[in-house]
Structure 1
Amino acid sequence: MTDFSHLLTPPLLPKLQVRKGDPRLLSFLSKRDGGLKEPKAVLVGYPSSRGAEKNGGRAGAELAPTRIRSHLYSLTPDARFFDEHSSLLRGVLDIGDIRVGDSVEENQKILAEVLAPYLRASIPCVVLGGSHDVSYGHFLGYVASEMVISILNFDAHADVREFDENSGGHSGSPFRQALLHPSQLLGSYSVYGLNSWSVARSHLDFLVERNCQFCFSDEMDQAQIDALFHSLSKPTFLSLDIDGLSSAVAPGVSAPNGFGLSPELYYRAALRAGQSRFIQSFDVAEVNPTVDHDGATSRVAALCIWHFLRGMAE
């Protein structure tokens, strides 16, 4: 695998006192210098809130990868499925965070460059955002790999907002940018969990014109999520925007949601994604620790990743 050490910073890991007989994920996951040559999955952080700030949102998402890791690494493997889960975890490589540049576009380019060789090798990637511009960088990793990919996004917003070609995209535009990309490598775009009061009519019209699937938050339940992942038939990447959840459980986001989905639906989606042979990669976006309460939102994001890795172990 290509050496990207010049594009990455080592992950900042929590200092945990791991007791005998009570191992945590910190005991299993490999770090960048751990010598794991053929990982079963890769973690990489996107520590930037520039896209949210460009979109009129709040700064702070640059802290998310470290905060998410602090909770993720303190979790235990599933005791009911310990051997399989811990075996998978030993094969997960945390390569750290990208070295952020001076612009959203530079950050997306760096992320794409880092992801591309793993995507080409069919190694699942888990990206810790960061504002939702992370997903366009994620998509560009497939462009760099010359791979057709579909996108499944769970989000309160469609994130197909207009953007200025001169000033570039932002956290509200990643999927419009992917849909309009000249490579035409986006197979399809679907968004689930929309709030009817958070989606402009022009954005809904854009989705209809592009034959995109969408579903509103008041129409969703676990059975629908199961059916959705069962219906997948093409390579897909999953994006979970944490602002799709109710602010009662996820207050630490740039755009708090007064009526969002329950975390159980996100955990279900992450688990089904890990179980699916069609999900190639996964990102979480929009966690903002500066406005969080007692780390609640970072914990939810960490549990989404835990469920994805748990699903992969099956």
Structure 2
Amino acid sequence: MTAVSLLGIPHDDNSSFMKGPAEAPPLIRRELQSDAYSIWSEMGVDLGAAGRLIDHGDLVFDAAADPWGVIEQNVGRALESGEPLICLGGDHAITHPIMRAVRRRHPRLTILHIDAHADIYHAYQGNPRSHASPFARIMEEGLADRLIQVGLRTINDHHRDQFKRFGVEVIEAGCCSQPFRLDITTPVYVSMDIDGLDPAYAPGVSHREPGGLSPRQVIDLIHTIDQPIVAADIVEYNPRCDLSNVTATVAAKLLKEIAGMMVKTRK
């Protein structure tokens, strides 16, 4: 039986506007395991089956160690079993050290990045580790062969320059009204920023940007992936901004569908 690993990365030191995403992992787990909801994915995978989910707990950070090293080392350890991994953030900055570990195991890799923001600033507010900059670092270091960004709705000229520099493929939110399928021929890493969703569905984020995707659109897109999903992250859920745990529930739903597709696409 294919198992799926979980790892909490409660780190938001590089958030530019407000803190809070570091508090997210246990709240997403609580909704995932709640008796109020089914633990089955829509693709027919029972995530509650014995041994299906392997939870590695949450990382602990202290001032003595570089958090990037802590993240990379522990993600690498979680991947040693060969099972796919879902990391629960945390802000989007954590994707950079995660990808350092993932790339070592996957010489061919496409990132599917769902977000309101491109997160590809060279150094946002002078911080090269900003949660607005991880994909600049990822592409500079050659940690992916392709970067496909879906749902963007805050593009500026600097982003456009970065898209050209790194060959980023962009599908803006305004182009997502009709269902579509991505042509991907390598293993896939899914980076799911919760603010890629419209804030009507997911108000618990630090940077609400109206005009976004619905959970149904995101789930349908994930369901079209026909290559192995080898790792993923779910980031930028901020419990301090949530309303009645609505966003935690949506995050848990997306976790179930990503995990289900990890099992379905395993080759």
- TM-score where L is the length of structure 2: 0.88
Match of 2:59 in 1: 98
- Whether contact under 8 Å (1:88, 1:313) holds in the other structure is no
Give the direction of change, closer, same or farther, for the CA distance of 1:86–1:161 in structure 2 (3 Å limit): closer
1:14-36: CA deviations, max 9, x gaps? xxxxxxxxxxxxxxxxxxxxxxx
1:115-134: CA deviations, max 9, x gaps? 22443543100011110012
Match of 2:169 in 1: 213
SS of the residue 1:260 aligns to:
coil
After TM superposition, list the pairs within 5 Å mapping 1:166-181 onto structure 2: 168-181=128-141
The offset of 1:211, in angstroms, is: 1.4
1:300 to 2:250 alignment: yes
- TM-score where L is the length of structure 1: 0.75
1:156 to 2:116 alignment: yes
Give the direction of change, closer, same or farther, for the CA distance of 1:188–1:306 in structure 2 (3 Å limit): same
The offset of 1:269, in angstroms, is: 3.2
The offset of 1:243, in angstroms, is: 0.7
Give the direction of change, closer, same or farther, for the CA distance of 1:185–1:250 in structure 2 (3 Å limit): closer
Letter in 2 for 1:218: G
Give the direction of change, closer, same or farther, for the CA distance of 1:287–1:79 in structure 2 (3 Å limit): closer
Give the direction of change, closer, same or farther, for the CA distance of 1:131–1:232 in structure 2 (3 Å limit): same
Query: In the aligned structure 1, how far is the partner of 2:130 from the partner of 2:41?
Result: 41
Query: In the aligned structure 1, how far is the partner of 2:17 from the partner of 2:234?
Result: 17
1:284 to 2:234 alignment: yes
Letter in 1 for 2:51: R
Match of 1:236 in 2: 188
Residue segments in structure 2 that go unaligned for 5+ positions in a row: none
Query: In the aligned structure 1, how far is the partner of 2:85 from the partner of 2:23?
Result: 20
- Whether contact under 8 Å (1:150, 1:234) holds in the other structure is yes
Query: In the aligned structure 2, how far is the partner of 1:89 from the partner of 1:272?
Result: 27
- Whether contact under 8 Å (1:112, 1:144) holds in the other structure is no
SS of the residue 2:27 aligns to:
helix
1:185-209: CA deviations, max 9, x gaps? 42121101010xx121111121123
The offset of 1:143, in angstroms, is: 4.3
Residue segments in structure 1 that go unaligned for 5+ positions in a row: 1-37
- Report which structure shows greater RCO (CA 8 Å, sep ≥6): 2
Match of 2:219 in 1: 267
Match of 1:193 in 2: 151
Q: What percentage of residue pairs aligned between the two structures are identical?
A: 25
Answer with 1 or 2: which has the greater Rg. Answer: 1
